[in-house]
Amino acid sequence: MSSNYISPLSNRYGSDDMKYVWSEQNKIMTWRHLWCVLAETQQELGVRSISREQVRQMKDAVNKIDLVAIQNYESKMKHDVIANIHAFGDATEDAKPIIHLGATSQFVVDNAETIMTRDSLIRLIVKTAEIIDSLSDFAIENADVPTVGLTHLQSAQPTTVGKRATLWIQDFVTTIEDLGFRLDRLKFRGAKGTTGTQASFLSLFEGDSNKVRAMDDIIANKVGFENKNLTKVVGQTNPRIDDASLVASVCMIASAASKFANDIRILSSRREVSEGFESKNQVGSSAMAYKQNPITCEKICSLSRYLISLIQNPYHTAANQWLERTLDDSANKRILLPEVFILADEILDSMLKVCKDMVVNYNIVAKNYKEELPFFITENIVIEAVKRNNADRQEAHEEIRKLSIEAKTRVNSGKTNNLIYRISRKKMFKDINVKEMLEFQYTGLAKEQTERYIETIVTPIRGLYLAK
């Protein structure tokens, strides 16, 4: 037990894999890798003050991280990058003099954050694809299971359990498309110098601008970014507005997940669909022993609310980047980006758990459907009245409305639904076998829509992101 505050994101939420991406260890290793790539590229392009042996020593020291030494340096120098330069230099024999040559702090800070963001996005995309996959299996399995549709949380025209699932899937499809777009458009800062003019590198290469441009391209390629993903102009930092669009895209996960989780909570209250209990020993309430609460879905909604609240933060940061840069983005981003990705990661993992454990109470679904069925067929009765009896559509609709209200009032008083009896007595609806109409399902093309959506939209996603 610690006497210091520990963020729930450190020990409660998020996968170990995602938390490692944003760990101090991985950040420092990424910084060192970037310094190695910088020095190696400069040496390859003819900088005589850098030897292959110095580059080799740097590479050998990438994993030799002394966090205590780094902290000691930073406590004296009040600069984390300089502290890391000194600690990295201490881990080599001869390379210390050429580490960070011509670079500014943002060479490692911004570029490392971009690499970590890329790695995080890939993880989120794969997990989103797994959710789409799991929900799609659920949708196909329940494609033809009729259920009460709900608009305004009131009974509406029927749909199917599977068709409803396609609405959840569609939100995640939109999300994965946007995340993929952000990943494809992710911009690497490269080696641009202190104010983005590359003046220090131009001096290093004795005025050879071609080598400066080549260095920028080579470094980007060595860490997995093509030229099209290399930011063309910067001040000191990557454009902070890029962070704003990135966070907005990641927050789509929260929006899609919260919609799903809220729907499951509603359906759980109707006893139609539940998230499933994790084990037979799981306790729902400390007082009410019978309770089976949708706690995972509630957690999804809770974390999603917090994640969505972070959207406006990077827009403010982007708006307040004075001229070539100011430092009031730095402390903010240290908190923002890890939180955004770890929260999204936890939300997706929780989603996957619910998707795999979801339980459909088919008897309850059928019971609720049957109770509302007389109301469901009323639109079809209006259509038949017009077709068979040349009735006025508006008059037929008004008559059905009055009869439905009378029947619903009766139901609300605890009596049986006698809407069909009331309709059958009206002259306007003669020659219509209303009772026979109760034998049909009124789910339209729900089953076909579900199957077609999975086949045309989900199948390509499965092929692109999943090894199925």
Q: How confident is the model at residue 241 (pLDDT cuts 50, 70, 90)?
A: confident
Entry pTM: 0.89
Whether 8-98 shares its CATH topology with 105-156+164-188+238-361 is answered: no
* Domain range summary for the chain, segments of one domain joined by +: 8-98, 105-156+164-188+238-361, 378-437
- Identify the three-state secondary structure at position 194: coil
Question: Mean pLDDT across the stretch 28-47?
Answer: 96
CATH superfamily of 105-156+164-188+238-361: Fumarase/aspartase (Central domain) (1.20.200.10)
pLDDT tens digits along 163-215? 999 999 999 999 999 999 999 999 999 999 888 899 999 999 999 999 999 99
Rounded to whole angstroms, the Cα distance separating 98 from 113 reads 23
Catalytic residue set: 152, 285
Write down the residue that tokens 């999943």 correspond to: 466
Q: Which element (helix H / strand E) includes 359?
A: strand 359-360
The residue type found at 5 is: Y
Q: Are 253 and 348 in contact (CB under 8 A)?
A: yes
Q: What is the DSSP letter of 429?
A: G
Name the burial class of residue 450, with classes exposed (0-12), middle (13-18) and buried (19+) by CB atoms within 10 angstroms of its CB.
buried
pLDDT tens digits along 97-107? 999 999 999 99
pLDDT of residue 83: 95
Q: Are 58 and 39 in contact (CB under 8 A)?
A: yes
Nearest CA to 28 among 69, 62, 76? 62
Predicted confidence (pLDDT) at residue 318 exceeds the cutoff of 90: no
Q: What would the two tokens of residue 95 be?
A: 């390379």
- Please state at what angle helix 446-453 crosses helix 161-185, rounded to 10 degrees: 30
Q: Which residue has the higher pLDDT, 221 or 378?
A: 221
Indicate the CATH number for domain 8-98: 1.10.275.10
In whole angstroms, how large is the CA radius of gyration of the chain?
Answer: 31
pLDDT tens digits along 396-453? 888 888 888 888 888 888 888 888 888 888 878 777 777 777 777 788 899 999 999 9
